[in-house]
Amino acid sequence: MPELRCPICGGPVRVDDDALPGELVEHDCGAVLEVYQDGEGRLSLRPFEGVQEDWGE
């Protein structure tokens, strides 16, 4: 998998080869990024704005 780019600082972000959409990655810059699949089916990153604690069941 090619390196993805951090939408916050523009730096490269390494994600696991088996990363799935919805997975969270913490970047060196401190941003929490969410892996998602873009319109072309490729994995991309976006800032994670949700609050995990609010996902409660």
**Tally: H helices and E strands in the chain:** 0, 5
Strand partners, 26: 32
Token duo for residue 36: 């998602």
* CB closer to Zn ion, 4 vs 6: 6
Q: Which of 1, 3, 9, 21 binds Zn ion (CB under 5 A)?
A: 9
Instruction: Determine the interface stretch with Zn ion among 21-29, 39-47, 49-57 (rule: CB under 5 A).
Output: 21-29
Length of the chain: 57
27: contact with Zn ion by CB under 5 A: yes
* CB closer to Zn ion, 43 vs 56: 43
